[in-house]
Amino acid sequence: MIIADTDVLIDFLAGHEPSASAVGRELGRGNLRTTVISRFELLVGAHTARQKKVVRDLLGSVPALVVDAASSDKAASVRRDLERAGQSIGMADCLIAGVSLVAGAPLLTRNVGHFARVRELEVIEPT
């Protein structure tokens, strides 16, 4: 299982490489997941009827992992640790990291430098 961050899903929808190929490859393998946070971000960004349809079609193919008690607790720990170090990444990204850590799955993202601040999180850059 690989968890896709919002940025690579947007790239996939726009056909921007290398994210489009990386997401397509994992979709084809049945390995791709996302989070309810990324689902929310994608839906918020869809403004036209066409965009909404394309986003909903993609989300119908990519299961979204939820924020449960364990991932929420992990996200809080991540946020505290990063704030203490002066390296905060924001609430949504802390939640995405918490979900990924609890799932034990790597995060596919273009924002490698950002998420690399999270100890123990395996981050994969699209290639």
Domains in the chain (CATH in brackets) are 2-121 (3.40.50.1010)
Kindly give the residue spans of alpha helices, DSSP state H, lying in 1-127: 6-14, 19-29, 36-45, 49-61, 69-84, 91-103, 112-115
pLDDT interval class at 44 (50, 70, 90): very high
CA–chain centroid gap for 69, Å, is 18
| pTM of the model as a whole | 0.94
For 60-110, write each residue's pLDDT tens digit: 999 999 999 999 999 999 999 999 999 989 999 999 999 999 999 999 999
As to burial, measured by CB atoms within 10 angstroms (0-12 exposed, 13-18 middle, 19+ buried), residue 37 is buried
For residue 26, the model assigns a pLDDT of 96
- Residue 52 pLDDT level (bands cut at 50, 70, 90): very high
CA–CA separation, 127 and 49 (whole Å): 31
Distance CA 75, CA 109 (A): 18
